[in-house]
């Protein structure tokens, strides 16, 4: 299974003022070895132009990897904690995430991925964050990705 898709990503950080970033972009959606993959190129709007984002989804958890201008890997497993090194051209940042909720509703026709987590930065500040990803299939591609 290999499909072209429209990927909608909404990231909402709650604080003094809610900070919402919404990106809608073309991408790929495929299944390999029983796992779903969502792949798209970041845009200038997200602040990560030149970066490819890959979501690897298995059952009720997922990994979000970024490669290119920005490099990072974040694992989303309910009630889990992840330590992240976020590398940019300006330098690296280290932080952790406490995952509160993960909900995956994907099938061969697309679907949704959701996570609610607390982003913990070096000064002890915790930022409540929600991530919503929607995958809408637009075309079936008849070749496979290796």
Is residue 9 a part of any domain in this protein? yes
pTM above 0.85, yes or no: yes
The pLDDT, as a whole number, for residue 123 is 73
Give the number of domains in the chain: 1
Walking along the chain (146 residues) 10 residues at a time, the average pLDDT comes out as 94 80 93 96 81 95 95 93 88 91 96 95 84 94 55
CATH of the domain at 35: 2.40.128.20
Single out the residue of 37, 66, 41 nearest to residue 144, CA to CA. 37
């Amino acid at each position: 299974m290999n499909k072209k898709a429209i990927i909608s990503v909404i990231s909402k950080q709650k604080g003094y003022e809610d900070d919402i970033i919404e990106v809608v972009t073309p991408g790929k959606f495929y299944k390999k070895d029983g796992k779903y993959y969502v792949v798209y190129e970041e845009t200038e709007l997200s602040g990560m132009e030149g970066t490819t984002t890959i979501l690897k989804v298995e059952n009720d958890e997922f990994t979000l990897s970024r490669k290119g201008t920005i490099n990072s890997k974040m694992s989303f497993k309910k009630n889990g904690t992840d330590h992240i090194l976020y590398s940019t051209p300006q330098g690296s940042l280290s932080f952790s995430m406490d995952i509160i909720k993960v909900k995956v509703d994907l099938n061969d026709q697309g679907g949704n991925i959701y996570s609610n987590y607390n982003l913990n930065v070096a000064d002890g500040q915790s930022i409540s964050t929600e991530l919503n990803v929607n995958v809408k299939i637009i075309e079936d591609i008849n070749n496979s990705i290796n």
